[in-house]
Amino acid sequence: MLNLLRYNAKPRLLALGAASLLNFTLLISPLFSQNSSPPSSDFNGNGVVDFPDFLLFVTAFGSQAGQERYDAKYDLDGNGEIAFDDFLLFVDSFAASSQPPPPSDPRLTRIELPEGFHIRIYAEGVTGARSMSLSPDGTLFVGTRPSGRVYALRDEDGDHKAERVIVLARGLNNPNGVAVKDGDLYVAEINRILRYTNIEAQLDNPPQPEIVNDAFPTNRSHGWKFIRFGPDGLLYVPVGAPCNICNRGDPYASIGRLDTNSNFSIIARGIRNTVGFDWHPETGELWFTDNGRDRMGDDVPPDELNRITANEQHFGYPYCHGTNIADPVFGDQRSCGEFVAPVQNLGPHVAALGMRFYTGDMFPEEYRNQIFIAEHGSWNRSSKIGYRVTLVRLNGNRAVSYEPFAKGWLQGESNWGRPVDVLVMPDGSLLVSDDQAGLIYRISYSH
């Protein structure tokens, strides 16, 4: 069919212009399949080749504006122009197969997602990938823990996969946290915060870091840090409890921030070990995950999702866990009613780490301003739990559901991956880091 169209229709269609080209699509519409997705034709990056991709192509092919802002990704035959031969190649991509292409890693076929969502590898070879931070220019910075490395990832051809994986630093002390501000990269080691100035201009020859603050505790237990700049422009830094259960006083078991002079002040206490937080896109309030204590049993206590509504609130540790579970060691010293209860009790020992409010436009509207959480997975529970990305749905500031969103890294009692952090990309896709597999995944949606 398409060979016949090439022979008979090409001279006429070249003269018809963009309007007739749209009419021509009605003749070939049966060829369009949402399940066909050659990478070169997935212009909008949602994981499949579909009608929105066709509309993008038509705009580039038929409009004067499209030709003036010539974009090589629409030049499918690579001859330096967007012409009818490219259109025929685009149509062939629909007719070639009715099956989606297999993921680049066959393990991804194990990941279960809601209908319409797709997962692919954004970057591989990112050993120990942990917390993520995206620069305005599109560089993804990734921290690690024991490997001591900090990475910079670059997707330079816009195909939604990082071609360049650059090691910016080696030999650091558990550099879990990364954050970008005003062109500088901030890295959190266990006891200090470092700054790499003007980093994106020096990715291939990074500068020696400056020390921003080196006064944090040196305890390795829960000493790794997730860091982010808040809406106030200040750097927020947690200090975990240096134990499973203990009461060591300030600055332990807290979240604080560095002022413009790099001085640390505490804004919330009673937080055993948070490795992920975000600010509500409408209220500006800080929400965070917290890891519950161990050795109280398989099903207690829960991990927590919390919300800070005032300065210096206390969230219960070490006296109280979850909503009202008194600690067997410290629980007789203070009542659970004295503390701020969680917005949502999460699974016991799931190791809830990174979290983000979904602020993109790619996913359905029902996901807007809802919370994605990376659950790293249990380590000492008799039956494993976690190893997934979950979704907490909100109605205002109240949680109304807590459910799996992406699962499959845990197969029976064997896990092949451990999600650590989540990050919403400018196009609305969701990145997930995995420190066990050394991968960054990209989750997209198509209608």
**Do 350 and 303 form a contact (C-beta atoms < 8 A)?**
yes
In a domain, 425, yes or no: yes
Structurally, the chain folds into a number of domains equal to 2
Q: Which of 67-71, 119-123, 416-420, 421-425 has the lowest mean pLDDT?
A: 67-71
Q: Is the pTM of this model over 0.85?
A: no
Q: Give 3-25 pLDDT, tens digit per residue.
A: 433 334 433 333 334 444 444 44
Residues 122 and 91 in one domain: no
- The confidence score (pLDDT) of residue 36 equals 38
DSSP letter string over 24-51? Answer: HHHHHGGG--TT---GGG-TT-SSS--H
**Of the residues 95, 116, 132, which one is the last residue of a structural domain?**
95
Residues 19 and 117 in one domain: no
Residue 23 and residue 115 in one domain: no
270-308 residue pLDDT tens: 999 999 999 999 999 999 999 999 999 999 999 999 999
Residue entry with tokens 């919330």: 268
- Structural domain that includes position 224: 106-445
CB atoms within 10 A of CB 77: 12
- The verdict on 91 and 110 lying in the same domain is no
Pairing of the two strands 264-269 and 313-314: parallel
Q: What is the CATH number of the domain that holds 162?
A: 2.120.10.30
Tell me what pLDDT residue 105 has.
Answer: 83
Question: Does residue 81 sit in the same domain as residue 197?
Answer: no
* Residue-averaged pLDDT of the chain: 87
pLDDT of residue 447: 79
Numbers of helices and strands, H then E, in the chain: 4, 29
In a domain, 100, yes or no: no
Same domain, 134 and 230: yes
pLDDT of residue 260: 87
